[in-house]
Amino acid sequence: MTKTVYIAGLGLIGSSLALGIRRDHPDYRILGYNRGEASRSIALEKGIVDEATDDFAHFAGQADLIFLCVPIQQTIDFIKQLATLELKEGVLITDAGSTKQAIVEAAETYLVPKQLNFIGSHPMAGSHKSGAIAADINLFENAYFIFTPCKATKKDAIPRLTDLLSGLHARFIEIDAKEHDYVTSQVSHFPHVLASSLMNQAGSYAVDHPLTNNFAAGGFRDMTRIAESEPGMWTSILMTNPTSILERIEEFKERLDQVAEMLKTRDESGIWHFFEQGRLTRKEMEIHKRGGVDSFYDIFISVPDEEDTILKVLELLRGISVVNLRINEENRSDINGILQITFKNKEDLEKAARLIREQTSYQVYLD
Ligand code: NAD
């Protein structure tokens, strides 16, 4: 039975988890640890936690569940420390680290001899923001929340956690820690390496070609958004998943070499197929099933950059349920923006398309 939750690390992830836990369990006591004063004060002021400390050991013995939401290396240090502390009978320990194998290995080494119950967790949502100031109750909505059971995990761990975390509205999934680190190296860790490489390359190039900064528009922005992430977190991710990330880097170099070769040999058809394969593969991926719902329906409306355009479109759609709305603007003031609206079903999509076509001069495209 979980009644007292101890969240160590009141940053973006720890504070957002606390808000999500409170949503379905307002009667639980939430205690917090944070090294720095700022996030501790914000978490107390906003009622994210009931009490807070800067001494990790202070609340550990009172908790039914301990959530380690600090950087990976610190998570490993806290696991070692927990093995030496007097903890409550039946306490469940988990973490939020972005790589899992190193953490699970630490749990197996230090917690198994103490018969302590541990399961690795990775909430697969986040942002480049940090600290309790960025806490967001909806951060994990529809996101995968991964559990990586190990030798230290007891049977009750997953049912207890899925109950505790029901208010996150996340999608819980269980995988092996090693497999987790392989898959995330491809879709998360390596893309961060690429985004920062691209940014660094553009930065150097801009020294001799200053217009680089002006011409960097939508495509470049989409590719490099994650280069704004906190460097400390990404350093520890690379340091704790080196083998998989190095494999991804080597494999990618080969892919770049293949493109270079096609370009040198003027292999136009090869280059076309290279782009076509990327386009088709992306369409097949879950990226297109936004928010985890299987079949969303998108409409793209080419709208002029004029006052009240979006309001006008939304007014026409009154009564039709809109799932998502996004403006894909270009970095030019004289070009039309593309308004992308997502509907729940085909009927809503077709009704919306008809209304906009009939009552405006905007061009409408369906996905
Ligand atoms: P954050 O920077 O917002 O918060 C990190 C917290 O750890 C802060 O409270 C900070 O005070 C504390 N901390 C940092 N170094 C410490 C140290 N040496 N000793 C004690 N406390 C220390 O970061 P976050 O985004 O909340 O990340 C926390 C964990 O969640 C990390 O393990 C990260 O890998 C994981 N995670 C992050 C994301 C993301 O996108 N931000 C997503 C999923 C998982």
Domain containing 311 — which CATH number? Answer: 3.30.70.260
Closest CA to 327 of 316, 319, 315, 336: 336
Q: Do 64 and 133 have their domain in common?
A: yes
Q: Using 50, 70 and 90 to split pLDDT, how confident is the model at 327?
A: confident
Q: Using 50, 70 and 90 to split pLDDT, how confident is the model at 366?
A: confident
Pocket lining: 233 vs ligand 1, CB cutoff 6 Å? yes
Q: For 179-228, give the secondary structure using H, E and C.
A: HHHHHHHHHHHHHHHHHHHHHHHHHHHHHHCCHHHHHCCHHHHHHHHHHH
Q: Which domain holds residue 354?
A: 297-366
Closest CA to 153 of 121, 197, 191: 121
Predicted structure pTM score: 0.83
Q: Do 272 and 330 have their domain in common?
A: no
Of 121, 146, 175, the domain-final residue: 175
pLDDT at 1: 64
Pocket lining: 229 vs ligand 1, CB cutoff 6 Å? no
Pocket lining: 9 vs ligand 1, CB cutoff 6 Å? yes
Domain count of the fold of the chain: 3
Whether residue 332 is predicted with pLDDT greater than 60 in this model: the reply is no
pLDDT at 335: 46
Task: Tell me the average pLDDT across 217-226.
Answer: 87
Q: Do 304 and 342 have their domain in common?
A: yes
- Sign, CA dihedral 226-228-234-235, equals positive
Closest CA to 35 of 119, 132, 162, 150: 132
Of 137-146, 216-225, 323-332, which gets the smallest average pLDDT?
Answer: 323-332
Selected residue with higher pLDDT from 284 and 329: 284
Reported as a single tens digit per residue, the pLDDT across 52-81 is: 999 999 999 999 999 999 999 999 999 999
pLDDT at 217: 82
Q: Using 50, 70 and 90 to split pLDDT, how confident is the model at 288?
A: low
Pocket lining: 14 vs ligand 1, CB cutoff 6 Å? yes
Q: Indicate the average pLDDT of the chain.
A: 92
Pocket lining: 7 vs ligand 1, CB cutoff 6 Å? no
Q: Do 121 and 43 have their domain in common?
A: yes
Q: Distance, CA 130 to ligand 1 centroid (Å)?
A: 8
Q: Do 150 and 48 have their domain in common?
A: yes
Beta bridge partners of 93: 66, 118
Q: Do 273 and 305 have their domain in common?
A: no
Q: Does the residue 292 lie in any domain?
A: no
Q: Do 55 and 159 have their domain in common?
A: yes
Q: Are 84 and 61 in contact (CB under 8 A)?
A: no
Q: Do 171 and 190 have their domain in common?
A: no
Q: Distance, CA 9 to ligand 1 centroid (Å)?
A: 6
* Nearest residue by C-alpha to atom 39 in ligand 1: 126
pLDDT at 334: 41
Whether residue 163 is predicted with pLDDT greater than 50 in this model: the reply is yes
Q: Do 203 and 123 have their domain in common?
A: no
Q: Does the residue 290 lie in any domain?
A: no
* Nearest residue by C-alpha to atom 44 in ligand 1: 98
Task: Tell me the average pLDDT across 310-321.
Answer: 90
Of 124, 155, 175, the domain-final residue: 175
* CATH code for the domain in which residue 268 is found: 1.10.3660.10
Q: Do 195 and 219 have their domain in common?
A: yes
Task: Tell me the average pLDDT across 276-300.
Answer: 75
Q: Does the residue 289 lie in any domain?
A: no
- The whole-angstrom separation of Cα 284 and Cα 268 is 25
Whether residue 212 is predicted with pLDDT greater than 50 in this model: the reply is yes
Of 254, 284, 314, the domain-final residue: 284
Q: Do 76 and 153 have their domain in common?
A: yes
Q: Do 131 and 162 have their domain in common?
A: yes
* CATH code for the domain in which residue 117 is found: 3.40.50.720
Reported as a single tens digit per residue, the pLDDT across 13-28 is: 999 999 999 999 999 9
